[in-house]
Amino acid sequence: MTHDIERIQALGALADQHVLPRHIPKPPAQLPAMPAPAPQAAPTEAISLVDTAGAAGDAWPELVPLPEDTSDTTPPAPFPFAALGPLLGAAAQAIAQDVQAPDAMAGGSVLAAASLAVQPLADVVLPHGKACPLSLYLVTSGSSGDRKSAVDDVACMEIARRKQEQSRQHHHAMQAYQQEQASHKKGDPEPQEPMMKSLTVGNATVEGVARLLRGQSSVGVFSAEGGEVLGGHSMKEVNRMGAMAFFLKGWSAETLDVMRGGTGYSSLLGRRIALHIMVQPLLLRALLSDPLADGQGFLARCLIAQPQTLAGTRFYNGHNPMESPAVLAYAHRMGQLLDTRPELWPTGDGYELKPKRLPLDPDARTLWVAFYNAVEAQQADGQELEQARAFASKAAEQAARIAAIIALFNNPQAVAVDVLAMDGAIGLVNFYLTEHVRLMGTGKQAQTDKRLRALWDWMQEQGAIVQQKDILQRCPNPIRKLKAQGIKPLLEQLGQRGYIRALGAGWEVRHVD
């Protein structure tokens, strides 16, 4: 522990210097540097878009191609199984190996199932006193044949077992209710229809989830076919804003208010929602480009991964993942946690949770603060996470949630989050932060490259000469928002690459086949 304390103190010192500790994301490799541009005359104005006047008809310089969009081709980092801890990590790795499924798919399924198991039991307390639920939202992409359902079947086998029992109990309760209705006499108390209970739900509307939560404290929105969720009734254009708002409240454990004709008004306190949907790459791209999902903050709360397919390498191994010692140990602990009765508010509605508060121990606290500060430094203007602030700003809270999940899974009687759980959680958030930047294209270089291509595409549509006033007033809105000071470097890069050249008060556009 002395060694650990010294390492924590060193990390704290690194944070003070804005140096990233081991698990904090490093900027991705930059594209090869372009050839140095030819010297140009000094600008006459600090924010002038045109620095020099060219001569139409002069020979164009050699064309330096624009960088390609590599967001879909850059390989993902390996999923850090060890960061999940001895029980969760070993089980996830065994599932990935025995099912022969992508690593982040197995890791995400196990992490989501663990979140569902512990979210009714505790809240994690951040160093500044805020209590946060242990609910996680995960979105994992996989192609057809990547064995999404097979992974979920193993990761959620204890959940499925209890769902079957809930279904049987509801069936018998409905039979008794129907018999009571048949024998009901005038003046007798009206029989109450039993409420359906289910640990998880896949193809469900927001109203359906709220209806379930009237009779239970916690639910998981889990689906190996995420199109059921993203393409369902609640996510249709007319309902999307309300559905997103509902799930945002669920992530933060806020009061869930639902008002619908027929079902009436629901105000649900102390409920918890975990989410894991596995989607096709096409659906993931649609979600990532959805301005509502991005603008409302839904994507910023999701841990998103798109691992590489293993198709072509999955030769028969004869392994039964249900018999793996690591999976059996994981399932046993899942059963213990799912069978633990959560504490409820005595003055609540019978389902309002009163989770125990799980603080960070001193070493975990020091490590968390170092991580918080380092990620914050990377969100400054010009830094790697500038364009990923929405997600990055929640990275430290995500780490605390995951650390508490790991701590409780390792020891259901834990009274604090230990430093090893926090260290692992930071590794996991580092992985998902890297995936977010990769898939969203929000890294500094990726964002610049995207803007370069968008500006060039627009300029080609305007004709041979484009006036600088038109660029300021009519170019694509994401670029126009940069104003003259932000647009000028993009124009300079296009000029240096030989796509445009200054001509009077505008730019001559090169014809490129």
Evaluate whether 367 touches 429 at the Cβ level (below 8 Å).
no
Q: Are residues 408 and 456 in the same domain?
A: no
Q: Are residues 401 and 501 in the same domain?
A: no
**DSSP 3-state helix, strand, coil percentages of the chain (rounded to 5)?**
50, 10, 40
Which distant-in-sequence residues (6+ apart) come within 8 Å of 404 by Cβ? Answer: 118, 122, 123, 124, 134, 358, 417, 421
Count other Cβ atoms within 10 Å, centred on residue 309.
18
CATH number at residue 132: 3.40.50
508 sits in which H/E element:
strand 506-509
Which distant-in-sequence residues (6+ apart) come within 8 Å of 423 by Cβ? Answer: 23, 83, 367
Evaluate whether 221 touches 201 at the Cβ level (below 8 Å).
yes
- Among the ranges given (27-41, 433-447, 450-464, 471-485), the one the predictor scored with the smallest mean pLDDT: 27-41
pLDDT in tens, 336-356: 999 999 999 999 999 999 999
In a domain, residue 3? The reply is: no
Q: Are residues 323 and 466 in the same domain?
A: no
> Regarding predicted confidence, which is higher, 285 or 93?
93
State the pTM of this model: 0.76
Paired strand residues for 272: 218
Helical spans, DSSP H, in 156-290:
157-182, 206-213, 227-230, 240-252, 281-288
What total number of domains does the chain contain?
2
pLDDT grade for 202, boundaries at 50, 70 and 90: confident
| φ, ψ at 372 (rounded to 5°) | -55, -50
Alpha-carbon dihedral of residues 461, 462, 467, 473, nearest 10 degrees?
A: -80
Both tokens assigned to 147: 């064995």
Q: Are residues 221 and 237 in the same domain?
A: yes
pLDDT grade for 227, boundaries at 50, 70 and 90: low
Residue 41 has pLDDT above 90, yes or no: no
Q: Put the strands of the sheet holding 131-133 in their side by side order.
A: 131-133, 122-125, 356-359
Report the alpha-carbon distance of residue 130 to residue 77 in Å, rounded.
32
pLDDT at 428: 98
Q: Where a domain ends, among 440, 460, 483?
A: 440
Interval 347-371 mean pLDDT: 97
- Extended beta strands in 227-372, E state: 256-260, 264-268, 272-279, 302-305, 356-359
Q: Are residues 436 and 455 in the same domain?
A: no
Q: Are residues 322 and 398 in the same domain?
A: yes
- Among the ranges given (26-30, 172-176, 448-452, 490-494), the one the predictor scored with the smallest mean pLDDT: 26-30
Paired strand residues for 356: 122
In a domain, residue 106? The reply is: yes
Query: What share of the chain has pLDDT > 70, as a percent?
Result: 83
In a domain, residue 275? The reply is: yes
264-268 and 256-260 as β-strands: parallel, antiparallel, unpaired? antiparallel
Report the alpha-carbon distance of residue 137 to residue 235 in Å, rounded.
16
Residue 45 has pLDDT above 70, yes or no: no
Residue 99 has pLDDT above 60, yes or no: yes
Q: Are residues 334 and 481 in the same domain?
A: no
Report the alpha-carbon distance of residue 51 to residue 417 in Å, rounded.
58
Residue 92 has pLDDT above 90, yes or no: yes
Query: What share of the chain has pLDDT > 90, as a percent?
Result: 60
Range of the domain at 50: 31-71+445-509
In a domain, residue 136? The reply is: yes
In a domain, residue 322? The reply is: yes
Q: Are residues 349 and 300 in the same domain?
A: yes
Report which residue type is found at 276: H
272-279 and 218-223 as β-strands: parallel, antiparallel, unpaired? parallel
Chain mean pLDDT for the chain: 85
Q: Are residues 327 and 378 in the same domain?
A: yes
Torsional sign, CA 328, 334, 337, 338: negative
Q: Where a domain ends, among 395, 418, 440?
A: 440
pLDDT at 76: 92
Residue 453 has pLDDT above 80, yes or no: yes
Which distant-in-sequence residues (6+ apart) come within 8 Å of 175 by Cβ? Answer: none
Buried b (16+ CB within 10 A) or exposed e, 120-136: bbbbbbbeeeeebbbbb
Interval 108-126 mean pLDDT: 98
Report the alpha-carbon distance of residue 18 to residue 41 in Å, rounded.
37
- Among the ranges given (123-132, 134-143, 260-269, 317-326), the one the predictor scored with the smallest mean pLDDT: 260-269
Could you tell me the CA-to-CA distances from 226 to 153, 229, 323 in Å, in that order? 15, 5, 28
Q: Where a domain ends, among 440, 470, 490?
A: 440
Report which residue type is found at 98: D
Which residue in 197, 193, 191 sits closest to 215, CA to CA? 197
Residue 35 has pLDDT above 50, yes or no: no
Count other Cβ atoms within 10 Å, centred on residue 178.
12
pLDDT grade for 73, boundaries at 50, 70 and 90: low
Residue 88 has pLDDT above 50, yes or no: yes
In a domain, residue 476? The reply is: yes
pLDDT in tens, 126-145: 999 999 999 999 999 998 89
Residue 17 has pLDDT above 50, yes or no: no
Angle at 182 between CA 180 and CA 186, to 5 degrees: 85
Both tokens assigned to 28: 């991705």
pLDDT grade for 70, boundaries at 50, 70 and 90: low
Interval 219-243 mean pLDDT: 72
Which residue in 429, 407, 433 sits closest to 419, CA to CA? 407
Q: Are residues 207 and 133 in the same domain?
A: yes
Q: Are residues 44 and 92 in the same domain?
A: no
pLDDT at 180: 84
In a domain, residue 329? The reply is: yes
Q: Are residues 424 and 452 in the same domain?
A: no
200-201 and 506-509 as β-strands: parallel, antiparallel, unpaired? unpaired
Which residue in 404, 402, 401 sits closest to 417, CA to CA? 404
In a domain, residue 16? The reply is: no
